[in-house]
Structure 1
Amino acid sequence: MKPRNPLGVHALVWAGDTAPASVTTAITKTKACGYDLVEFSLHDSLNLDVDRTRAELNRAGLRVACSRGLAMDADISSDDPAVVERGERLLHESLRLTAGLGGSHLTGALYSAFGSYSRPLSAAGRATVVSVLRRLAKEARGTGVTLGLEICNRYETNVVNTARDALRLADDIGEDNVVIHLDTYHMNIEENDMVRPVLDVGDRLGYVHVGENHRGYLGSGHLDFTSFFHALGQIGYTGPITFESFSSAVVAPGLSADLSIWRNLWDDGEDLARHAHGFISAHLTAVPA
């Protein structure tokens, strides 16, 4: 039985950049492995040929989503107005690229730089995040793109670490095209279990990353995926579920360092992706409608 959720795979399973040849590889292999959606990271957006990529996606019949985090010199949670301005420009450019690809979601750590902070988020910094993302959401409304607040662990941001953090931020932004993005890898670090965050978010859940606790093959770690997928079924979640995994076999300069991808967790992205598709499908099939 086909899952009711669109199943996606992160393009970093296939290639570390978005040059034309890498994009063709990602689209071709995503389709061959039975997925409905490919997620592109915009860390390499200068090499991304938007029109060519959109045409290839259309020929393959694939959906697309985009993700990104910001940099320390373009961080909208900063107390430095010049840094915030660079970050806001980057977000609006990312929205333009996502819309140009025909993307459904722009998601990720849209609210801060991607990295370890030496101090807590300031009240002024949080207020700036709210105002910048509110403006971005208003622009996104006219493009049909939904914004996702991906909840990341404490070593990658100081803005949003738990589902309740993300709900509070979304409430303050106050735009209904801003959804919550849960990621099982980050949940394992920050949440008490794999069920309560799903139930807390409920119908505001709009995007899901499924990744193992070590970001390798699904089922080879210790995560309680059975409870997680049953929780998704309990809230009636029908949105995208995207498999995310990283290995030093696929290197994305800069991003691999930001994500601390030091170990070679897998060599064969196609075998990994086919296994993940079967694993996710089996768990979804086991959940009562």
Structure 2
Amino acid sequence: MTPDLDVACHVNVLAPDASPASLAAALPVLADLGYRRVVLPPLDPAATDVARIRSLFAEAGVTPIVIAVQGPGADVSSEDETVRSAGGSLLRGALDLAVALGADQLNGVPYGLFGPPGGPTPPDAFERSARE
């Protein structure tokens, strides 16, 4: 008996990017291997062909997982209000993209920069992230 697991695979295991052409080739293979979800790399919502990518996921019968990230100029944990606001906009864009693609989860590091230099993330950075 084959286990009934809801497992995911990152698309970059098979494809160099998340372009519609790469997804058209990779998604059916991943679905045939038993994956139910496919993780996408961070995407720019404005440069993403949402309708085409959503239809490719639907045709393959797999669900996308969108990744949310932050960057040096867009970080919800920043002390700088402008940088914090840009981070919030980046997260809202990722969430909107997830909804538009038919994803049911948003992964990544949405609360600040990944691996801040100098050690653990300070508690006040988490508090700023939660407020944004």
Letter in 2 for 1:87: G
Q: Which amino acid aligns with 2:35?
A: Y
Which residue in the other structure is 1:112 paired with? Answer: 112
User: By how many angstroms is 1:21 displaced?
Assistant: 1.1
Aligned partner of residue 65 in structure 1, secondary structure: strand
Q: Which amino acid aligns with 1:38?
A: V
**2:27 maps to which residue?**
27
Identity in percent: 30
Please name the residue that 1:53 is paired with. 53
Inter-CA distance 29–46: structure 2 relative to 1 (3 Å threshold):
farther
Give the match for residue 11 of structure 1: 11
Matches within 5 A, 1:47-196: 47-118=47-118, 120-132=120-132
Query: Normalization by structure 1: what TM-score?
Result: 0.42
CA deviation after TM superposition for structure 1 residue 8, in Å? 1.4
The separation in 1 between residues aligned to 2:78 and 2:45, in whole angstroms, is: 23
CA contact (8 A) 1:74 1:86 kept: yes
The Cα shift of 1:75 comes to 0.9
Shift of 1:17: 2.3
Could you tell me which amino acid in structure 2 is paired with residue 70 of structure 1?
Q
Any idea what the Cα deviations from partners look like across 1:75-101, whole Å, max 9, x if unmatched? 111111111101000100100000111
Which residue identity does 2:113 align to in structure 1?
A
CA distance in 1, matches of 2:119, 2:82: 20
Indicate how the Cα distance of structure 1 residues 44 and 27 shifts in structure 2: closer, same or farther if over 3 A, else same: farther
Name the SS for the 1:38 alignment partner.
strand
Cα shift readout 1:7-36 (whole Å, capped 9, x = no counterpart): 211111122322221222231221232211
Structure 2 match to 1:221:
none
User: Which structure 1 residue ranges, 5 or more long, are not aligned?
Assistant: 133-289
Deviation at residue 47 of structure 1 after TM alignment: 3.8
Deviation, 1:105, is 0.5
Change (3 A) 1:119 1:80: farther
Instruction: Please state whether the residue corresponding to 1:88 is helix, strand or coil.
Output: helix
Report the structure number with the largest CA radius of gyration. Answer: 1
Task: Provide the C-alpha distance between the structure 2 equivalents of 1:5 and 1:126, rounded to a whole number of angstroms.
Answer: 33
Q: Structure with the greater relative contact order (CA < 8 A, sep ≥ 6): 1 or 2?
A: 2
Change in Cα spacing, 1:50 to 1:43, as seen in structure 2 (3 Å) is: closer
Is the CA contact 2:45–2:93 (under 8 Å) kept in the aligned structure 1?
no
Post-superposition offset of 1:115: 4.1
